[in-house]
Amino acid sequence: MSGLTTHVLDIGHGVPARGVTVALYRLQKGEWKAIATAATNADGRIDSPFLTVEPLPGEYQLVFHIGEYYAKREVETFLSTVPVRFVLSSPQEHYHVPLLVSPWGYQTYRGS
């Protein structure tokens, strides 16, 4: 199954990050073109894959609006947005990009 999914966990509070706005972009001719925007559900996931069809190979970017997430919870944060850039080289594969976040930092990796 090809596609792109994400999962946001608030490791500072030990909970899934509900309500994080996540935007997907693709680099085309040197410019970032918006593809989709969604918000995470109660489990910290987007309800359906960002890319439900086989994506084009290339460079993509997920932008997580973490500052808004913490502002709604009245939590001070160092972060405003977290951009994660990556290359989809095998369009037939599934790509999962989790984000582990706290008010002061983050970590990401290619999941399964």
Residue ranges per domain, the chain? 1-106
Higher pLDDT, 10 or 95: 10
pTM value is 0.93
Residue 13 assigned to a binding site: no
* 3-state class (DSSP) for residue 70: helix
Give CA separation, 96 vs 5, 7, 29, 48, in Å. 5, 8, 25, 12
* Residue 18 labeled ligand binder: no
What superfamily does domain 1-106 belong to in CATH? Answer: Transthyretin/hydroxyisourate hydrolase domain (2.60.40.180)
User: What value does the mean pLDDT take over residues 9-14?
Assistant: 97
pLDDT of residue 44: 98
105-108, strands of its sheet edge to edge: 15-16, 3-10, 94-102, 105-108
- For residue 66, the surrounding DSSP H or E stretch is helix 66-72
Residue 70 among known ligand-binding residues? no
Polymer length in residues for the chain? 112
Element (H, E) at 72: helix 66-72
